[in-house]
Structure 1
């Protein structure tokens, strides 16, 4: 099998485009890196091709035979990696096309203008752990397929239904489906402990600096806050989401 050695190779340039939102939007593809994410992508049947360093030996070669595999040099690995220390194995994946069905997907997390990729990925991973069914990316929210989001989510985006849409429209759909909608706020809100766990709910979390848009908060059934007992002025949005998701979700 021939090895691509130069980062100037035309195929390498195409792979590098997937590190940008424009490139991902144009091709409908994105890239994952590392054994764990590749294994999750294989389970989800979303792998298009695999690129692996010729000296990489941390994965069973039998798993790779069903896909087109290209050997790459360490130079190419560094060129297409979104990290400082490449793991030596990559996969191009097709973007997911899924639809949220509110008759089935009854526990949802909605993002209103959340921008930090680490926070987005962490919340997707937390939502997965908490048994949430779907995540909705509202206006102003970062890109699901940003390499930092994918890395922080650790494969959880393969397990959830994720859609992008207008949150006002989604709130209308949720209410029509008898799913209570909770915003997160500091003022004109009640302590989250006053709301009992439930089988169905939608939680909206907002921008790291501005929070949830007041126009969105006006449309919710209830807005919740987390009491702060120390001197900190606020909680990180991903931490707050974790606390609220686990509280609202009715234990099995």
Structure 2
């Protein structure tokens, strides 16, 4: 029998608020919140485990509810909530009346280590492990920028996105929201700059750092070989460790008065050039 919650003081509702607001609570419990039918559907495609789905039957369409129940695991608990509770929990009013409590995944790059050797794992997208094109972002902090990077990576179909020295919990609701669920559609890992450089070198992946120093125009690079495109923040750029280990620094020639652009815009230009080259 499907459960119902009608009080904002219910312990589960209080926990959901904590999971939305506190990264410490997400780390402690290994749980996070997904809002919206599209995002939940993508999480299921990405093999995330949904512990609980909360739905407002005054909002969600019956056919959408049936689809959700068919695609969810049998262990997933469905709980009906009132429109008042949904209004308290939902950030957007247009998310189809559904939220989910999901289990986090360990995104550390150490999970890509197998029998002492690093490798690029397979995913639902079946990336080309022998000749990967990887996007790496060092220390991105703003959830909006991270979400935009993930959307761009998904659109380009890169083989992996790696976040070096992350400053923000990737299960932050603002990242899920700004990525429109692309957090779940990309092959993602996090790690220190040193760990990631080690992974790249042991897999013979060229490192192309977006930097002003000793750089060449990005379109002169051969991205048809195994390649990692590395971008830093607009404010501080990349750390010295990346520049010291770069195969070649690359630059997007600027014709205006400024010498930098938003990190997600720059990443989009670079990775789509890589995809363009690989289409021939």
TM-score by length of 2: 0.82
Go from structure 1 to structure 2 and tell me whether the alpha carbon gap of 1:144 and 1:238 turns closer, same or farther (over 3 Å shift).
Answer: same
Gap regions ≥5 residues in structure 2: 113-118, 122-128
- Number of equivalenced pairs: 251
1:61 maps to 65
- TM-fit CA distance, 1:80: 2.3
Which of 107, 111, 128 pairs up with 2:133?
Answer: 107
Q: Counterparts of 2:120 and 2:42 in 1: how far apart (Å)? A: 25
Gap regions ≥5 residues in structure 1: none
Q: Give per-residue Cα distances to partners, 1:80-128, cap 9 Å, x unaligned.
A: 23x2536321011111246443382722221211111111111112112
| Helix, strand or coil at the partner of 1:18 | helix
Go from structure 1 to structure 2 and tell me whether the alpha carbon gap of 1:159 and 1:3 turns closer, same or farther (over 3 Å shift).
Answer: same
Q: Counterparts of 2:106 and 2:141 in 1: how far apart (Å)? A: 22
- TM-fit CA distance, 1:140: 4.0
Q: Counterparts of 2:169 and 2:161 in 1: how far apart (Å)? A: 13
Which of 240, 244, 248 pairs up with 1:222?
Answer: 248
Instruction: Note the aligned Cα RMSD (angstroms).
Output: 2.0
5 Å-filtered alignment, 1:144-163, equals 144-163=170-189
Residues 1:203 and 2:211 are matched in the alignment: no
Give the conservation status (yes or no) of the 8 Å contact 2:166–2:191: no
Q: Give per-residue Cα distances to partners, 1:109-155, cap 9 Å, x unaligned.
A: 21211111111111112112212121222114322111111112222
- TM-fit CA distance, 1:160: 2.1
Go from structure 1 to structure 2 and tell me whether the alpha carbon gap of 1:70 and 1:136 turns closer, same or farther (over 3 Å shift).
Answer: same
Residues 1:241 and 2:267 are matched in the alignment: yes
Higher deviation after alignment, 222-231 or 97-106: 97-106
Give the conservation status (yes or no) of the 8 Å contact 2:135–2:230: yes
Go from structure 1 to structure 2 and tell me whether the alpha carbon gap of 1:158 and 1:112 turns closer, same or farther (over 3 Å shift).
Answer: same
